[in-house]
């Protein structure tokens, strides 16, 4: 399934980080490219969605060139400034790494966002591609990258 990751990487390369937001708990959502409004199930406005989205449910970190800026277990007061540093940065790469595929988004400015599951089960990340008529997703299931439409 490395072809699917390569396809996502090719599509994302050069896209700016347009929106970064916190979902439930410590979920981190990074929206890439053009944003479109979204609505919650009850009809109220939701978070804007990008052409491509990277979501890490828990166990993530944001890295600078020489240190970890913050992570899912950091004091939440430093999340917002770290999220703000990602905005406007362009994607340079998107790869999986490790025996059980974790995800790393590399950005201009020497920034990186990585998943690193610390609990049982699979790495808890999902990629969404909203550029076509249906939403295409990639995640890790039973230790392998799985594609869904």
Helix (H) or strand (E) holding 85: helix 79-86
Summarised one tens digit per residue, pLDDT across range 35-82 is 999 999 999 999 999 999 999 998 999 999 999 999 999 999 999 999
Q: What pTM, to 2 d.p., does this model score?
A: 0.95
Q: Which pLDDT score is estimated for 58?
A: 87
Q: Which pLDDT score is estimated for 13?
A: 98
Read off the pLDDT of each residue in 130-142 and give the average, rounded to a whole number.
96
Q: Which pLDDT score is estimated for 149?
A: 78
Residue 1 has pLDDT above 80, yes or no: no
Render the burial of 28-63: b for 16+ CB within 10 Å, e for the rest.
Answer: bbbbbbeeeeeeeeeeeeebebbbbbbbbbbbbbbb
Q: Which pLDDT score is estimated for 71?
A: 97
Count of other CB atoms within 10 angstroms of residue 113: 25
- pLDDT, averaged across the chain: 96
Q: Under a CB-based contact definition with an 8 Å cutoff, are residues 108 and 92 in contact? A: yes
| Cα-to-chain-centroid distance, residue 50 | 11
Pair of tokens at residue 4: 């699917």
Q: Which pLDDT score is estimated for 95?
A: 97
Read off the pLDDT of each residue in 8-36 and give the average, rounded to a whole number.
97
- Taking every pair of Cα atoms in the chain, the longest distance, rounded to a whole number of angstroms, is 43
Classify residue 27 as left (phi > 0), alpha (psi -120 to 50) or beta. beta
């Amino acid at each position: 399934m490395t072809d699917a990751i390569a396809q996502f990487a090719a599509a994302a390369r050069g896209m700016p980080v347009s929106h970064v937001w916190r979902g439930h708990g410590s979920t981190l959502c990074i929206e890439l490219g053009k944003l479109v409004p979204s609505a919650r199930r009850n009809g109220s406005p939701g978070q804007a969605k990008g052409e491509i989205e990277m979501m890490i449910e828990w166990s993530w970190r944001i890295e600078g060139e020489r240190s970890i800026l913050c992570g899912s277990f950091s004091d939440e007061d430093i999340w917002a400034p770290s999220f703000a540093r990602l905005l406007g940065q362009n994607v340079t790469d998107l790869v999986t790494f490790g025996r059980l595929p974790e995800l790393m988004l590399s950005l201009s400015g020497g920034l990186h966002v990585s998943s690193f599951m610390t609990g049982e089960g699979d790495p808890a990340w999902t990629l969404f591609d909203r550029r076509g008529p249906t939403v295409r997703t990639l995640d890790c299931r039973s230790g392998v990258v799985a594609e869904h439409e």
